[in-house]
Amino acid sequence: MTAEVAAPMIKASAVNKYFGDLHVLREITLEVPRGQVVVVLGPSGSGKSTLCRAINRLEPINSGEIGVDGVPLPAEGKALAALRADVGMVFQSFNLFAHKTIVENVMLAPMKVRKASKDEARKTAMELLERVGIANQADKYPAQLSGGQQQRVAIARALAMRPKVMLFDEPTSALDPEMVQEVLDVMTGLAKDGMTMLVVTHEMGFARRAADRVIFMADGEIVEDTTPEEFFTAPKSERAKDFLGKIL
């Protein structure tokens, strides 16, 4: 047998990003193997969102390289659109199209970007809405759904592109407390199904239960990269201890 080593699903090498004089990503080097769930923690302003956006090339970087499934992310053009389709992203704000129904929201991108037929797109959308527990709301409009339901639709919409990787940037931060768990449950299901995930969250319970790995960022740097067990019981850096002291 040939010892073929699979490329990491996400690979960032010495990534630097500046906003003007502000150095927001400092020599970020990171490999996420296929199927791994990485939770990214860190204080506000530490660069977590910028890292997510850089992986998706929503944000250009100043130096370094980022690859997804062994393919370097191009800076622009058609190749970028294709690669971006491999990376699903879910934000704090769900941004569903208000004048489209739930199922139409999920059908849209596959029809536009993947050139799926309407029937095909609808079939996939309904399967995904089933998966996030919301198929019975398919013909409603976003405003008729709760925040937690809308965020589950946003997850289904991202999955409709059949991404290789899912990035979540504080997906539950805008939700009322009673709706947080239903969204985390969907994410836990995805993790169990083997999706490669990078999750920025303040939900420490989720980090402990669902993460294979915790990355702690501060001031644009990866300060710790370890297991949840290690991170929560024996953080090494002062900055992580300080962070945990404030949130736990």
36 binding ligand ADP? (CB under 6 A):
no
Nearer to Mg ion, 169 or 224 (CB): 169
171 binding ligand ADP? (CB under 6 A):
no
Q: Which helix (H) or strand (E) holds 9?
A: none
Question: What sign does the CA torsion over 90, 92, 95, 101 have?
Answer: positive
DSSP code at position 6: P
Please report how close the Cβ of residue 191 comes to ligand ADP at its closest, in angstroms: 21
201 binding Mg ion? (CB under 5 A):
no
19 binds, among ligand ADP, Mg ion, none (CB under 5 to 8 A by kind): ligand ADP
Nearer to ligand ADP, 19 or 97 (CB): 19
147 binds, among ligand ADP, Mg ion, none (CB under 5 to 8 A by kind): none
Beta-carbon neighbour count of residue 38 at 10 Å?
21
Nearer to ligand ADP, 44 or 233 (CB): 44
Residues 22-51 that bind Mg ion (CB under 5 A): 48-49
On whether the CB atoms of residues 69 and 7 are closer than 8 A, the answer is yes
Strands 10-19 and 87-90: unpaired
CA angle 195, 154, 90 (to 5 degrees): 60
On whether the CB atoms of residues 188 and 210 are closer than 8 A, the answer is yes
How many positions of this chain bind ligand ADP (CB under 6 A)? Answer: 11
d(CA 34, CA 176) in angstroms, rounded, equals 32
Please report how close the Cβ of residue 27 comes to ligand ADP at its closest, in angstroms: 15
C-alpha dihedral over 97, 100, 102, 107, to 10 degrees?
-90
Please report how close the Cβ of residue 120 comes to ligand ADP at its closest, in angstroms: 36
56 binding Mg ion? (CB under 5 A):
no
Residues 43-102 that bind ligand ADP (CB under 6 A): 44-50
133 binds, among Mg ion, ligand ADP, none (CB under 5 to 8 A by kind): none
> Phi then psi for 140, rounded to 5 degrees?
-85, 175
| Closest listed residue to residue 28, CA positions, set 39, 36, 18, 17 | 17
97 binds, among ligand ADP, Mg ion, none (CB under 5 to 8 A by kind): none
d(CA 113, CA 35) in angstroms, rounded, equals 25
19 binding ligand ADP? (CB under 6 A):
yes
Residue 82, classed as helix, strand or coil, is helix
DSSP code at position 71: E
172 binding Mg ion? (CB under 5 A):
no
- Which of 9, 12, 24, 186 binds ligand ADP (CB under 6 A)? It is 24
Please report how close the Cβ of residue 18 comes to ligand ADP at its closest, in angstroms: 9
* Residue ranges in contact with ligand ADP by CB under 6 A: 19, 22, 24, 42, 44-50
Q: Which spans of this chain sit near Mg ion (rule: CB under 5 A)?
A: 48-49
